[in-house]
Amino acid sequence: MASESRYWTRFWRKRLSRRRLMQATGISAAGLAVAGVVGCDDDNGGPGATATAPAATATEAGPKMGGTLTGPLVGLSTGNPPSLDATRQTTFLAQIPAAYHYSRLVKFVPPTPQEVNGVPSIPIDFSNVEGDAAESWEITDDGTVFTFKIRDNLMFHPPLSRPVTAQDIVAAIDVFAAESPNRGNWLSQVESVEATDDKTLVITLRQPFGPAMQVLFGNTDGGPWIVPTEVLEDEAASNTAPIGSGPWIFESWEPDVVIKWRRNPEHYDAPKPYVDALEATLSGDPEVIIQNLVQGNFTNSLWSAEIWERGLSEMPNGQFFTGPEQVWGGAYFNFGRPPFNDKRVRQALSMSVDRPGILGALDQPGAAGGGGGLTHVAQFANFYVDPINDAATFGDNAKYFTRDVEGAKALLAEAGFPNGVDLTAQSSSIYGPGFGAQMEAFAASAKEAGFRIQINQGEYGGYISTTFFGVLGDNEMGLAPLMGSPMDPHNIFFTIFHPSSARHNWGLTADVEGSHPTDPGDLPIADSPSPAGDAALLDLWNKQAAETDFDTRVELVRDVQRMMAESMYLVPWTGVSTASIFQPNVKNVQLIRGYGYGSETAPGLWLDQA
């Protein structure tokens, strides 16, 4: 429609002026300190960029030992971690480093890339599991008892330098279950954890749990991580000097500058890691990142769909990878605060957002797939049902995902806002310009229906301790990524939404209270406007979790999508493609999605050095 064309024209005019301004101002002082870069080039990217994007290939010479992998910790979303205590922190800035130095019971095998527009696209697939701390395991026929055999050659790093025992794992899980804000899934599913001898761990579930391997034993978005008691009991060590049993030995952390690891020579999968060291810089400035890549100072980086073509243009010999976005988020609320205590306002907000338009405007790689973040589980192709392109299968509630400005205005009027509503979207700048563009596009799209949204990207520490947990005032909402590494739809259903989750991303009361776990025995709560009062949805969440037949579970998860479309407890935004860049001399690039890069991809990388 003509009005849609006008708002996208205005949106891109605004974005273009910001990009030119960013280049004109050069590189930040912090970026100079990190990378030693002097100056920056003009933007030669854009719609006309046509550089090739070769995939990684092995050579006949085979893996070579030595060298250092260097790049930003999380690409353009890089920032300084508030702490490295992955057991007690929710932030991705603590969970991502954890995969370098800590172990889990199991890890995931990188999937086979697909090809999209001539570029390898990495699917979101965590179905193929292999042992990490566990060498093998057995599962009872009813799916409730898991017996793990712990590797004999799994050692804690120096200065501990001792074998990891099943008792160590029990102790780490005990602290996780008592103190982690990510413990909700574990507590809801696990009955007991027992070390029957030094190398045997028995975990008994309360009931069958379909995604147990993904959600409980291999989870990189919150743990449990295998952390020695000596570290867990030492606050300074937990926060700043982790000791684990993973492929990389933590060496140092210079806040706002770099985290350094060195190769673990006693790793159970030796000779991996092949490189000697790994350095993760802590500046997310896109100009710092692209210039260090161009000059060869960085070996690799996560990239951004918004400036994908610029990367192709400035690094024509680079190895490029893309794929659908796994990071999940959108607009979230305090249900004790107006106007979002009224379901009609949430529905109207969803109907005001032009998701296909946003995808077309921001998704330069074109690898977002059919989902594009359109529903609450769109990352997972096997579970997803498309409300826009397959509305007949989705059902009547597909209308809440379809842009309908007049319908949104009518719902707002029914809710008492005939002239629209002024809102503040609380967020953080830590997530980088790519996610910032999504926030701006969301607000620009919703404006035509009467949602006048001012975005406040505040300091990360304040945001993650308040807004993230639903501490929101009247006429406020959160607008941000909420989960970076879901392994399965249940990660999203439980962690973000379920009242028993210790970190669910919504508030309930009209005071300053935010997220807090509710005992499952107290659910549902009569007359609650939140998920805590939704008996039908709580029951459906429980059914899909307990279903161990995959095909049956797929249909249950699709029913969850249909039901959540009507309630809109969180309004999903559009997930554009993700992207990564590697130098041509980085070999054996086998990428996996989520936060497991440090243990599932990095150990197998090697450098073809002259």
Spatial CB neighbours of 412, under 8 Å, sequence gap ≥ 6: 344, 345, 348, 418, 420, 421, 449, 450
Two tokens, residue 396: 């009547």
In the chain the first and final C-alpha atoms are separated, in Å, by 56
Three-class SS state of 137: strand
115 DSSP β-pair partners: 120
CA nearest to 345, candidates 244, 418, 258, 272: 418
Three-class SS state of 171: helix
CA 524 to chain centre: 29
Secondary-structure percent of the chain, ordered helix, strand, coil, rounded to 5: 35, 20, 45
Confidence band, pLDDT 50/70/90 cuts, at residue 378: confident
Distance between CA 363 and CA 576 in Å, rounded? 5
Distance between CA 148 and CA 105 in Å, rounded? 8
Q: Using the predicted structure, report yes or no on whether residue 373 has a pLDDT greater than 60.
A: no
Which residue type occupies 543?
Answer: K
What pLDDT score does 445 carry? 94
Dihedral of CA atoms 456, 457, 463, 464 in degrees, nearest 10, equals 140
- Residue carrying the six token digits 């292999």: 130
What pLDDT score does 513 carry? 58
Instruction: Sketch the domain layout of the chain as residue ranges.
Output: 68-306+577-607, 328-572
CA nearest to 337, candidates 532, 510, 471: 510
Q: Once rounded to an integer, what is the mean pLDDT over residues 104-116?
A: 94
Spatial CB neighbours of 353, under 8 Å, sequence gap ≥ 6: 403, 442, 445, 446, 571, 573, 574
Three-class HEC string of 568-601: CCCEECCCCCEEEEECCCEECCCCCCCCCHHHHC
Length of the chain: 610
Three-class SS state of 555: helix
DSSP 467: G
The answer to whether residues 495 and 376 touch, using CB atoms and an 8 Å cutoff, is no
Q: Once rounded to an integer, what is the mean pLDDT over residues 122-134?
A: 93
Model confidence, pTM: 0.85
What secondary structure does DSSP assign to 534-549, as a single string? -HHHHHHHHHHHH--S
CA nearest to 215, candidates 198, 228, 203: 203
Least confident residue range of 441-445, 518-522, 554-558: 518-522
Confidence band, pLDDT 50/70/90 cuts, at residue 517: confident
What secondary structure does DSSP assign to 180-194, as a single string? -TT-HHHHHHEEEEE
Least confident residue range of 411-420, 436-445, 533-542, 572-581: 572-581
Distance between CA 415 and CA 305 in Å, rounded? 37
- Give the sheet arrangement for strand 190-197, strand by strand: 134-139, 145-150, 200-205, 190-197
DSSP 156: P
Confidence band, pLDDT 50/70/90 cuts, at residue 381: confident
Question: pLDDT digit string (tens) for 545-577?
Answer: 999 999 999 999 999 999 999 999 999 988 788
Which residue type occupies 270?
Answer: A
Q: Once rounded to an integer, what is the mean pLDDT over residues 359-369?
A: 79
Task: Report domain 328-572's class.
Answer: alpha beta
Q: Using the predicted structure, report yes or no on whether residue 235 has a pLDDT greater than 90.
A: no
Q: Where are the alpha helices (DSSP H) in 39-165?
A: 92-101
Neighbouring CB atoms inside 10 A of 238's CB total 21
Mean pLDDT of the chain: 87
Share of the chain above pLDDT 90, in %: 66
CA nearest to 506, candidates 363, 329, 307, 242: 329
Q: Do domains 68-306+577-607 and 328-572 have the same CATH topology?
A: no
Distance between CA 500 and CA 542 in Å, rounded? 12
Residue 333 has φ and ψ, to the nearest 5°, of -145, 165
Confidence band, pLDDT 50/70/90 cuts, at residue 95: very high
Residue 101 has φ and ψ, to the nearest 5°, of -105, -20
DSSP 494: I
The answer to whether residues 326 and 124 touch, using CB atoms and an 8 Å cutoff, is yes
Q: Once rounded to an integer, what is the mean pLDDT over residues 473-494?
A: 92
Which residue type occupies 18?
Answer: R
Q: Is the dihedral of CA 226, 228, 229, 231 positive or negative?
A: negative
- Residue 454 sits at the vertex; the CA angle it makes with 451 and 460, to the nearest 5 degrees, is 130
Q: Please return the burial class of 90, using the count of CB atoms within 10 Å of its CB with bins 0-12, 13-18 and 19+.
A: buried
The answer to whether residues 277 and 12 touch, using CB atoms and an 8 Å cutoff, is no
Distance between CA 601 and CA 591 in Å, rounded? 6
What pLDDT score does 262 carry? 98
What pLDDT score does 20 carry? 32
Task: Report domain 68-306+577-607's class.
Answer: alpha beta
What pLDDT score does 328 carry? 80
Spatial CB neighbours of 284, under 8 Å, sequence gap ≥ 6: 72, 74, 75, 76, 77, 78, 79, 430, 432
What pLDDT score does 511 carry? 60
- Residue carrying the six token digits 């579930």: 205
Residue 124 has φ and ψ, to the nearest 5°, of -90, 100
E-strand ranges in 264-299 read 277-281
Q: Once rounded to an integer, what is the mean pLDDT over residues 247-254?
A: 98
